[in-house]
Chains A and B, each alone.
Chain A
Amino acid sequence: MASNKKYWKSEAELNPNDSIIETLRQNEFASEIPVEDFLGDKETLSASTTNRRDFLKYVGFSTAAASLAACEGPVIKSIPYVVQPEQIIPGVANYYATSIANGFDFASILVKTREGRPIKVENNTEAKVNGTANARVQASVLSLYDSTRVQGPTAGGNAIEWKVLDATVKAKLNALKGGSKKIALLTQTYASPSAKRLIAEFAAAYENVAHVTYDAIAEDAALSAFEAKYGERAMADYDFEKAELIVSFAADFLGDWQGGGYDGGYAKGRVPKHGKMSKHVQLESNMSLTGANADNRIPLKPSQLKVALAKLYGKLNNSTVGGGDSSIDAVVEELVKHIRKAGSNAVVVCGIEDKDAQAVTLAINELLGSKAFDAASPRYTRQGNTRAVNQLITDMEAGRIGALFMDGVNPMYTLPNAEAFKSAIENVDLSVAFSANVNDTTAVASYVAAAPHYLESWGDLEMKKGHYSLTQPVIKELFDTRQFQDSLLQWMGSDKTYYDFIRETWGGQILGGSDWNKALHDGVFAASVNPIVNETSAEPSTEETVVSAVAIDAAVRALANTQSSGMELMLYSKIGMGDGQQASNPWLQEFPDPITRVSWDNYMTVSKVDAENLGLKNENVANGGLDGSYAKLTVNGTTLDNIPVIIQPGQAVGTVGLSFGYGKITGMKSELQTGVNAFTLYENFSNVQEATIEKTSGNHEFACVQLHNTLMGRGDIIKETTLEIFNTKDAHDWNPVPEVSLNHQEVPATSVDLWDSFDRSIGHHFNLSIDLNACTGCGACVIACHAENNVPVVGKEEVRKSRDMHWLRIDRYYSSEDTFSKDDDQKEGLDGLGLGNYIFGDRQGNGSLSGFNRMEDPSANPQVAFQPVMCQHCNHAPCETVCPVAATSHSRQGQNHMAYNRCVGTRYCANNCPYKVRRFNWFLYNNNDEFDYHMNNDLGKMVLNPDVNVRSRGVMEKCSMCIQMTQKTILDAKRDGRVIKDGEFQTACSAACGSGAMIFGDVNDKESEVSHLKESDRMYHLLEAVGTKPNVFYHVKVRNTNEG
């Protein structure tokens, strides 16, 4: 059966005249390998002094030398102190209370130092206000050891001495004194009583001084609205613990809204107690962390949000406000029902950068008499004034500014009109930028004054009226730096240091007889009687009330008339990056965003509907990575190109989101130059812009750590129920124990066991409780774990290959139906394979192929659930039984041990782990130029925890349940000869958790909190049916979906 069929391998073969095909028939490669060229050059070869024999000698010698050298141990030097500081004992950690205030993040914290090096940030539990460190604050300790920091003052890129800078500045200041040109200070928000007094004194000394406060991400609308109503430039404070109903209009209060720090109070109200929990309704356009936690999330365009807010105000006042479409009316109707029911227990918050919207929000809260609303002692953590900033740039341009001093700001990066600023600064005679890092602003300033990190500085804070905090240095300046405040004192000719100045301020105004040392030790000081409070909390006079009522009516009308055509862009800040100050921090770059789970990038979030209309795509490619299209955004003539696109479930149709903080280039290592700079679109400091979107060519490679977005109806991973069912039904209805078949009978999975049980009733038995109701997904624990356990940073390429090393991840799931419970119903309803429908049909049948295929897609407005997952420390651990070298083993205390020095890297354990929490060191991540992050330079290595091993290549690692911390607690107790109290045992994640979602302790101590939590009805284990008996347990998530 001869056949004349011709098989061809490529199209080119069909062309008989193709010479390449002809060559390839004879040769392996199309073109000649240039061996002849290389070896044929006899002259070069013979000219070489190294002949073949020499080469072999060298090889032999170096091999012998290397093997001989390997037999000899290195000589290790030990250099003790000459004079050992009294409080430092090598090997024992010291803790200092201090505060961060970098203009964006404000928090009272504890800093753990070892041998004088700060290595970890902890929460300050003494603090009543902002005592918890978010992910960025947790990571800020690494920024101290940033190898790209400015190491001394410079002028035009050349290092100079401070005295040179001082002489220049003083001469200029004296020349300007009393002249026509102004001296301008452009600074971050300090919220500091001492800085305020210092700048006032400076202004008095040099007359003609203008102080402009500038927040990169403005809260100007909230500040102005509050100022108009209450006469003080501040922001109202909210205590969400007291609220039974929270209505949020795009306020990302679990993120960075008005300075953040609200998650602790919020989470307390969210845990069902005595059948009650708060209800949270979120109206927003981007899917924010706050929206993801809401019981009811309503996606609306920013323009619709304004109309809805106006209508809400109208309804509550029983008047009618026109505008908008009927769908908004229905939403508002529903809201009003809820609010009426909650009365003064309701609170409304607003994150729209619009003065009218903020004013109306304040009016609504006043009207409700909201208990959670606190205008009497407001917050000072944002003070920026956008009008003043614009005025300053105009003045600079006009040559009216003689000297400009900048501290904590980076206008060349954060201003939308950076070019205008650049041309304006050229008209300023002297410009000095205080900065810890080289950035776009230091590049244009005539002098760069090296500023210290906050851990090297003195400072004080008043974050909320009457609540003071102190910043103290925990390490001597690493470089030749000097803080702005000390410089001002120097330039004023004062011989005081800023420390003296703070003590003066505190002694005079704040302490009122209390002990300074106590305040410094605690880090916080709450003024018991605050005389200032009485001044502003006075009732507004009737005249003022009338005026404000008129103003509110105007504001409501303005809001109701909001019109919008086309796409609306909502700019926001990500948990990981904030305003981008710490962009050179590799921990934060590698931190996966809680919502999209993408690290090392910012991106444009777009709804699925819009994506389809615009032809934008997301796809998983063969190597497992996520790819996305590129798009071009144009706002008012400014274009930002090459923005990668993420299709975001829950994104309001007609809107897109883009986060600040990325796209920094100047002064950054090349690996850390990620994303695009959204500040260029931040026209008029408004976070809402009208934009046009266009698809551009090419695909962007994302480093996304979670590629599967839905639960597929597997309700046993995240168990959840509604408050109604929780209150009315039995636990086994909403928290059923999975059943397995034993001897052809269904029995509870917990009753069946493959292994013999080990007696763990003696000694300690550690358990970690995670309450899915309290967990907001903020990710502070992820960074805390990173810092505590020397987890390496692997870089974007490796994360894309799913080689991220985070010991603790926070899984985020979307529902594919409207709710997770409908997912379960959907799964239950599947029948048969449905092959026909799957292949030939519309894939809408109820066969499992079509059904599961549908369930892979998240809903347009899905429910969202977060679940922190770390090693579950199974009592019957599948990893332990498969390790061929017994490198992982179990302890009596419930921890699953991992002996790195024993591990040979077979990775059997990772394969056998049902929770996928084991991480493999594919490379040597320290001292390796391929991973040029903090573990590749001496400075960055200072942050390493000396109590935890730095792992080498080829070994498996995982969460140890912070065994170094539990062992230390035990040892301390043994040394003191005492019994351990509940609460002493902590892990890095449980200590970092500001919302109280993670509680760690000893379950053999029957009085401990964790024992009580384990007895709770809501308790369940992850994948209970597998029978691993984990030592980590979760609490069923309860949603308050009660009707109004």
Chain B
Amino acid sequence: MKKVPNRNQFSGVLGFFLAAALLFSSSLFSQEPAVASDTEVAADAGTGDPVKGKQLFNQNCAACHKLNGPATGPALANVESRLADEEGLDREWIYAWVKNSAGVIASGDSYANKIYNEYNKTAMTAFPTLSNGDIDDILAYTAAPPKKIVVNGGGDGKTTPVETSGISNNIILGALALVFGMLVLMLFMVNNTLRRIAAANGLDIEKDKAEKRIPIWKAFAQNQFLVLVTVILLLLGSAYFAYGWMMQVGIDQGYEPIQPIHYSHKIHAGDNKIECKYCHSSARVSKHSGIPALNVCMNCHKNINEYTGNPEGPSAEDLANGYTNEFYTKEIKKLYKAVGWDEATQQYTGESSPVEWVRVHNLPDFAYFNHSQHVSVAGVECQTCHGPVEEMEVMYQYAPLTMGWCVNCHRETNVQVEGNAYYEKIHAELSKKYGVEQLTAAQMGGLECGKCHY
């Protein structure tokens, strides 16, 4: 069930392809900005500035509204023309609504009440700070949103040299192998030439003697001491490997199980820079970091119902793995199904099916580990133990989680005592006793058996 792929082996090869792909692809995008600026000019929306409008939209409206499709509030694409056509409402009505929706509802306006009831009587926040001009801008944006401006990032340029340095190692190695191969060949040729010269000069190369020699394996078999030594060495060698193999039993470093929902830490923690402890909030106060409850996911995913992270299309690597935008969107739908969220009505159906995640980090029962001790008290970064999670498409176990690994860190890590009144006295006394400036966790008692085993 557990798969431990040898990532290192593949990474080089993958890296090579990736670098190549990037190298070629970068040139393809060079004309994009021009296209974008074209549309900007083409945007025709009365008086407003759609670029400014987009910014305002994202700041004020996007939490509850989407351009297409309902969210907490209705879709806003072409809202002005829709209102004008269907309800006969003008821009003044929109100004009034945005600045004080409750007031409009209270005034008994029929459409206002209709929409209020339709969206579960969720009152829209009043925006008295938005000027009419701002609202014009937003309306301009909703009428014809500018296409995404893709700034040709320096990322491509930056990554390539890093990757080539990795490849250059391979080239150097290859070149070395080639040189050695040629050396062998040359030696062989020199040897042949010398023999030919010798033969030509009539020198005897004592072939007969060589034929009479006992074959080396026979000589080896006859030398009992050598046999004994070899056997001992072989036994020791196999014992070494057997021990090594047995010691890895139960160590699941690199354990990368397939999860019921393909949750990408890379997208959440990496691309979107969501703080780890936003979702794993109990890591601050509890021994468990906690797998976030689905309602935490819904804090954002109520609005984010599709994946649009890759406007330029998925990379070759992602494509190879099938990580397309549609793929991710499908995973979001899985979440909706699990939490029982009906997208059409924007309501919870109440029929949920909890997600059965496969636990990646499994400490044995007899080892006590407390996240809050490390996260809140010691201020250890999550990545110290969990690795570059922000780069992990699929979560895997980064550290071996063995006792030796724990103990090593306790030996090397200083206790973070600044500003913590608890440590003041004990640190002053203990550091004096040990004659050090800074105490390690081990000196503080972090190696005592009972601190982790009870």
Contact = CB atoms under 8 A, between A and B. Distances in A.
A1019 B366 CA distance: 36
A77 B293 contact: no
Interface stretch (B47-55, B108-116, B204-212, B419-427): B419-427
A66 to B, nearest CB: 14
Given A89-B286, A763-B426, A895 B450 contact: yes
A473 B365 CA distance: 30
Contacts of B294: 80-83
B237 interface: no
Interface in B369-410: 370, 372-373, 376-377
Given A76-B359, A974-B373, A960 B450 contact: yes
A971 interface: yes
B257 A75 contact: yes
B372 A975 contact: yes
Interface stretch (A745-753, A835-843, A945-953): A945-953
A245 B104 CA distance: 80
Contacts of B453: 897-902, 949
Given A90-B286, A971-B372, A977-B419, A891 B354 contact: no
B218 interface: no
Interface in A962-989: 963-964, 967, 970-971, 973-980
A901 B377 contact: no
B288 A90 contact: yes
A893 B451 CA distance: 10
A979 B421 contact: yes
B286 A978 contact: no
B454 A964 contact: yes
A889 interface: yes
Interface residues of A, number: 51
A970 B444 CA distance: 13
A688 B340 CA distance: 65
Given A91-B288, A967-B451, A974-B377, A84 B421 contact: no
A761 B292 CA distance: 43
B213 interface: no
Interface in A53-93: 71-73, 75-84, 89-92
Contact of B448 (A72, A889, A948, A973): A889
Contacts of A975: 285, 372, 376-377
B362 A889 contact: no
Interface in A869-893: 887, 889, 891-893
A39 interface: no
Interface string B412-444: 000000011111111001100100000000000
A33 interface: no
Contacts of B365: 949-950
Contacts of B366: 899-901, 949
Contacts of B285: 89, 92, 975
A868 B300 CA distance: 57
A899 B376 contact: no
A267 B196 CA distance: 112
A893 B445 contact: yes
Contact of B293 (A71, A80, A980): A80
B283 to A, nearest CB: 10
Contact of B358 (A78, A82, A89, A947): A78
B346 interface: no
Given A80-B290, A762-B429, A979-B421, A891 B448 contact: yes
A891 B430 CA distance: 15
Contact of B357 (A78, A763, A960, A974): A78
B362 to A, nearest CB: 5
Contacts of B445: 763, 891-893
Contacts of B430: 762-763
B195 interface: no
B287 interface: yes
Given A75-B358, A977-B421, A82 B2 contact: no
B67 interface: no
Nearest to B403: A901
Contacts of B450: 889, 891, 895, 897-899, 960, 963
Contacts of A77: 356-359
Interface in B350-370: 352, 354-359, 362, 364-368, 370
B140 interface: no
B41 interface: no
Nearest to B448: A891
A702 to B, nearest CB: 34
Given A91-B287, A891-B445, A73 B2 contact: yes
A979 B252 CA distance: 39
Contacts of B424: 979
Q: Which of B340, B365, B426, B454 has the most CB of A within 10 A?
A: B454
A905 to B, nearest CB: 15
A80 B355 contact: yes
Nearest to A977: B420
B340 to A, nearest CB: 7
A899 B364 CA distance: 13
Contact of A78 (B250, B359, B449): B359
20 contacts: A73-B252, A79-B355, A79-B356, A83-B293, A83-B295, A90-B286, A762-B429, A891-B450, A897-B453, A898-B450, A899-B366, A899-B449, A900-B453, A901-B364, A948-B454, A963-B454, A971-B372, A974-B423, A978-B422, A979-B421
Interface of B: 1-2, 249-250, 252, 257, 282, 285-288, 290-296, 338-340, 352, 354-359, 362, 364-368, 370, 372-373, 376-377, 419-426, 429-430, 433, 445, 448-451, 453-454
Interface of A: 71-73, 75-84, 89-92, 759, 761-763, 887, 889, 891-893, 895, 897-902, 947-950, 960, 963-964, 967, 970-971, 973-980
Given A75-B358, A949-B365, 10 more contacts: A76-B362, A79-B357, A83-B293, A89-B286, A91-B286, A892-B445, A897-B454, A963-B454, A975-B285, A976-B422
